[in-house]
Structure 1
Amino acid sequence: MELAVNEPQIHWRAAADAVTAAVQQAEEMGIKINAAVVDKGGNLLAFQRMNGAFLHSIGISIDKAYTAAGFGFPTRKWMDEIRDIPQLREGIVHRDRLVIFGGGLPIVSNDQVIGAIGVSGGSEEQDEICARAGLQRLGL
């Protein structure tokens, strides 16, 4: 019986680079955001808050990353997944830390989720643009 599993995880340096890129993108766009990267287990690895970014967006950015890491798809896709299933639509939104709007993206390497990035502070579209800038910085 094997007792340990070696699975790829995002490195803390890559996580820091991703949030920095997201914040730089936000600065270029003239918005103030919070950006977070978690490992594949949803554990926070890197976080940056721009001066003046909404305080409630701190937790939202972390939870967007947590949601994207846990399910392996962008948070904006949740509405499509639950739209036609009333029980799911009405029930799953009450789950702690689950975010069903845009701004959270999984970080995928070699077809494996190794973490996720979450951004909050702008519109859904702006948040996702900033999150994508983080992925681009990682070459993804």
Structure 2
Amino acid sequence: MLNKTITKQDLTTQAALQLCSTAIDQAVLLGINVCITIVCSSGRNLASAAMNNAPLLSQAISHKKAITSVSFGIPSKEWQSKLADRNNTLLALQSEPDFTFLGGGLPILLEGYIVGAIGVSGGSEQQDIDCATAAINFLN
């Protein structure tokens, strides 16, 4: 028999809001102001937050980080090494409006499923990764 539908796991809005809150808590500890975007497994925005004084472009960049991570199921920063010697691929991906290889985008895995992704922007690349990691660790 032909399967006509699929069942997939997705992050809840409540969990997305908790991820934003936890990422903000980590940013406060680091003394930085960030923007956070949480997307579901299909890339739809579930929650976002912009701390006071976060850089204006950080909102759009956090969205790109989340979309990149959920699209490929890997941290956005991994693209830096994947594209190091692949200039044509780099140029093609850079033409995609929602792609970035900046660190701070992480897929969210629960029970073995990619249920969404988080993108954080506003600090250094490592600080953004630390905020996203703290949020995911709290969720798990």
The CA distance in 2 between the partners of 1:102 and 1:31, in whole Å, is 16
Q: Match for 1:30: what amino acid?
A: G
Q: Match for 1:10: what amino acid?
A: L
Residue 69 of structure 1 corresponds to 70
Shift of 1:91: 2.1
Residue 96 of structure 1 corresponds to 97
- Secondary structure of residue in 2 paired with 1:75: coil
Residue 11 of structure 1 corresponds to 12
Residue 44 of structure 1 corresponds to 45
Shift of 1:105: 0.1
The CA distance in 2 between the partners of 1:92 and 1:117, in whole Å, is 20
Deviations 1:45-104 (A, max 9, x none): 011110111111111111111110111000000011111112112221111110111000
RMSD: 1.0
Runs of 4+ residues over 3 Å off in structure 1: none
The CA distance in 2 between the partners of 1:85 and 1:59, in whole Å, is 26
Q: Any stretches of 5+ residues in structure 2 without a counterpart?
A: none
Shift of 1:109: 1.5
- Secondary structure of residue in 2 paired with 1:118: strand
Residue 116 of structure 2 corresponds to 115
Aligned residue pairs, count: 139
Shift of 1:133: 1.0
Q: Match for 1:104: what amino acid?
A: G
Q: Name the TM-score, length of structure 1 as normaliser.
A: 0.95
- Secondary structure of residue in 1 paired with 2:77: helix
Shift of 1:119: 0.1
The CA distance in 2 between the partners of 1:54 and 1:36, in whole Å, is 14
Shift of 1:14: 0.6
